Amino acid sequence: MVNIGTVYTPTGLMCCSRLPHAAGRSDPAALRAAAMSPAAVWCAQHRLRFLLPALFLAPVLYFLLSPPSSPPFFSLPSSGELPPPGSWVIWAQRRLVEWRPCGWWRTAPTPAPTRRNGYLRIDCYGGLNQLRRDLCDGIGVARLLNATMVLPKFEVAAYWNESSGFADVFDVDYFIEQTRGYVEVVKDLPAEIVSKEPFKVDCSKRKGHFDYVEMVLPALLDHQYVSLTPAMNQRRDRNPSYAKASYCQGCYSALRLNKNVESKAVELLQAIPKPFLSLHLRFEPDMVAYSRCAYTGLSSKSLDSIEAARGEGRKILTGDAARLWRNRGKCPLTPSETAFILQALHIPTNTNIYLAAGDGLMELEGFTSVYKNIYTKSSLLTHEDFEKMHGNTKAALDYYVSVNSDAYIATFFGNMDKMVTAMRTMQGLQNTLVLSRRAFANYTASGLAGEQLAKALWDAHREGYIRGRGSALPEHCFCEFKL
């Protein structure tokens, strides 16, 4: 028999050696020794010298030649699995509790009375997510008053300087079908009412305790057709369970983008390199002016824009009032402050980030100088497509991408953030975080900076995340579940 093998010598690699067996020997060891050439003998004696380095080098070469893996900040521990000891990845922290949709409102709804008290139209004002907020409240009120709900009216001219309605953004038929059994919704009014103007009831400025049944039901019974602007701060917890269930179902299960908008949103989502983080960054002139907070180190252009948006009655706070206001977390984070906090949370600087933000964002270079892989709807969509879109449509794209992102971070817990975190919670997406402006303000006020400040911010956000406060949803549609 002939053995063919590769022989390593001190001078290099020899060709295959043919090693014939000798005959007539009774000692197997002697047979092998006699059959081996000097090179083969050397190889046998020194094989471990070359084998051991090869074993160590193999995984190193595999690691170097393999394609890069996904950034680590998206990794989450499996159910019951502890994160690696000393892990500094915010998403890998094992949570004690988390928000999930409550089960009670997703079961069969309480049947509404057959006889209705009239027709109710919800008049919604502002940007897309403010419109959604008013609409959600109105769905609960319609069930509370046992009213038939007419498709809502979106008043966006003052906000976007354009005209777009409910059907321009949302799927009407889907909305009607998904609210069936909770509240009746119709596209058209009956002939005896369609020619009437609705009786207007504006509750938007009302504060404190009031009752929709006492305030609105008499007008509904008298006029049979009422348009309602809901209160901004109503107490939904006082409503009966069937009204709460209608609110939750209508708000979180019945609102879907129409096919045209969703198609464009899917196109945008597919264009973003994966995995990616969606960041809702808020630092626009009107927002900063409204906050009444003072900032140092801003450019003269930003300061002029803030002053132009300030108007009467929005004077900058000073002294103790300014310090208390900032320490309560009322001042928006600047882009550079946001970048610092993300680094403190060990979000890699090469992370793909979709910037969900409107026009007029100030001091953006403070963020993009640190995080450079930035994508926006204006950079990913064609100029023609982008210019044709309504303001509500653009906001809907940001909403859709943020809901479906690998992770979502908000610098301000406004209307969009509440909607996005709620919808992500509905889908079980827990990589969601609202940055703590209060923690940042208090730590900087106490003199922390650099590594000390970064460590304190990490501890504060980690504590909030593991205790389920990473995405606050303080309403009855969502419940805390211990893990």
pLDDT surpassing 80 at residue 226: yes
Confidence at residue 359, expressed as pLDDT on a 0 to 100 scale: 77
| Position 393 pLDDT exceeds 80 | yes
Q: For residue 417, give the nearest of 437, 402, 436 by alpha carbon.
A: 402
The alpha carbon of 22 is separated from its chain's Cα centroid by a whole number of angstroms, namely 76
**Confidence category of residue 109, pLDDT binned at 50, 70, 90:** confident
Band of residue 252 on the pLDDT scale cut at 50, 70, 90: very high
| Residues 445-457, mean pLDDT to the nearest whole number | 97
**62 pLDDT band (50/70/90 cuts)?**
very low
Q: Which region among 47-56, 148-157, 273-282, 344-353 has the lowest average model confidence (pLDDT)?
A: 47-56
Residues 146, 123, 238, CA angle at the centre, nearest 5°?
45
Over residues 129-147, the mean pLDDT reads: 93
Residue by residue, what is the 3-state secondary structure of 338-351? HHHHHHHCCCCCCC
Residue written as token pair 């897309």:
128
Q: Is the pLDDT of residue 423 over 90?
A: yes
pTM to 2 decimal places: 0.80
CB within 8 Å of 195: residues ≥ 6 apart? none
CA–CA distance, 17 with 44 (Å, rounded to integer): 13
Distance, CA of 164 to CA of 364 (rounded, Å): 30
Sort strands 119-125 and 225-229 into parallel, antiparallel or unpaired: parallel
Q: What is the pLDDT of residue 106?
A: 85
Report the C-alpha dihedral over residues 125, 129, 134, 137, rounded to 10 degrees.
Answer: 180
What is the C-alpha separation between 421 and 409, in angstroms, rounded? 9
Q: Residue 289: its pLDDT value, please? A: 95
Residue 250 has what pLDDT? 95
- The residue-averaged pLDDT of 346-361 equals 92
d(CA 353, CA 371): 8
d(CA 171, CA 98): 30
pLDDT of amino acid 167 = 92
Residue 313: count other Cβ atoms within 10 Å of its Cβ. 6
Strand partners, 19: 3
- Mean pLDDT of the region 237-243: 87
Neighbours of 397 (CB within 10 A): 24
Categorize the per-residue pLDDT at 23 as very low, low, confident or very high, splitting at 50, 70 and 90.
very low
**DSSP for residue 317:** P
Percentage of the residues of the chain whose pLDDT score is greater than 90: 57
pLDDT top residue among 111 and 255 = 255
Confidence of residue 80 (pLDDT cuts 50, 70, 90): very low
What is the tens place of the pLDDT at every residue in 283-334? 999 999 999 999 999 999 999 999 999 877 788 999 999 999 999 999 999 9
Q: Is the pLDDT of residue 258 over 90?
A: yes
The region of weakest confidence among 81-90, 281-290, 386-395, 461-470 is: 81-90
For the cut 80, the answer to whether the pLDDT of residue 3 exceeds it is no
For 52-56, 103-107, 462-466, 469-473, which range has the lowest pLDDT when averaged over its residues?
52-56
Residue 118 confidence (pLDDT) above 60 = yes
pLDDT at 242: 93
- pLDDT surpassing 80 at residue 72: no
- What single-letter DSSP state applies at residue 188? S
- Residue scoring higher pLDDT (77 or 98): 98
Q: What is the pLDDT of residue 74?
A: 52
pLDDT for the residue 231: 84
Average per-residue pLDDT in the chain?
A: 82
pLDDT band, very low/low/confident/very high, at 91 (cuts 50, 70, 90): confident
Whether the CB-CB separation of 411 and 332 falls below 8 Å is answered with: yes
Q: What local confidence, expressed as pLDDT, does residue 208 receive?
A: 67
**pLDDT tens-digit readout, 354-364:** 999 877 899 99
pLDDT at residue 161, as a whole number = 54
Tell me which of 52-61, 129-138, 252-261 is least confident.
52-61
**Section 417-446 average pLDDT:** 94
* pLDDT range class, residue 127, cuts 50, 70, 90: confident
3-state secondary structure of 165: coil
What is residue 263's three-state secondary structure?
Answer: helix
Cα-Cα-Cα-Cα dihedral of 436, 301, 396, 433, to 10°? -10
What pLDDT score does 314 carry?
81
| Lowest-pLDDT range of 69-73, 155-159, 279-283 | 69-73
Within a 13 Å sphere around the CA of 90, how many CA atoms are in the beta-carbon half?
29
- How many helices (H) and strands (E) would you count in the chain? 21, 14
* Per-position b or e across 34-68, b if 16+ CB within 10 A of its CB: eebeeebeebeeeeeeeeeeeeeeeeeeeeeeeee
Kindly list the structural domains of the chain, giving each domain's residue range(s) and its CATH number in brackets, ordered by start.
2-65 (no CATH), 104-252 (3.40.50), 264-283+332-482 (3.40.50)
> How far is CA 54 from each of CA 5, 103, 216, rounded to the nearest angstrom?
17, 57, 82
Phi, psi values for residue 98, rounded to 5°:
-150, 160
Q: Give the position of tokens 């971070």.
A: 409
Residue 472 phi, psi (nearest 5): -75, 130
pLDDT at residue number 171? 97
Q: Are 199 and 223 in contact (CB under 8 A)?
A: yes
